[in-house]
Amino acid sequence: MDRTDPLADFFVAEAAPSVDRAFRVGVMEKIARRRLRIELVLRLCAGLLLVIGLALMAPAVQGVAELLGRDLATVLPVVAVGIGTASLGHAWLTRPIALPRLF
């Protein structure tokens, strides 16, 4: 008489279920979407702070430009905003934003 235990067959290593790749891809996609949203919010806040800072700095730059002369009054704010934007953009792009731990 041959007795086979069905539970023993189930727990054999060959009968173990394989990895569910669709589930793993779905979880990874949700994590990537959440990280993207957080990074977009951080970059939007940084850009908003940059615009506010440049707007607050504009009257001081305009005063210096008027002291230097009428010809520079129109050029100097444009150059200052361009240099400020370029340097802040360079610093922002070369240093990665550290995201908080999500899991």
Q: Which two tokens stand for residue 58?
A: 């504009």
DSSP alpha helices (H): ranges in 1-103?
A: 6-10, 21-68, 70-94
For 35, residues 6+ apart whose C-beta sits below 8 A from its C-beta are 99, 102
Whole-prediction pTM value? 0.46
Portion of the chain with pLDDT greater than 70, in percent: 72
- 12-60 pLDDT, tens digit per residue, is 656 455 678 888 889 999 999 999 899 888 888 888 888 898 888 888 8
Give the Cα separation of 2 and 11 in Å (integer). 19
Quick one: pLDDT at residue 33?
92
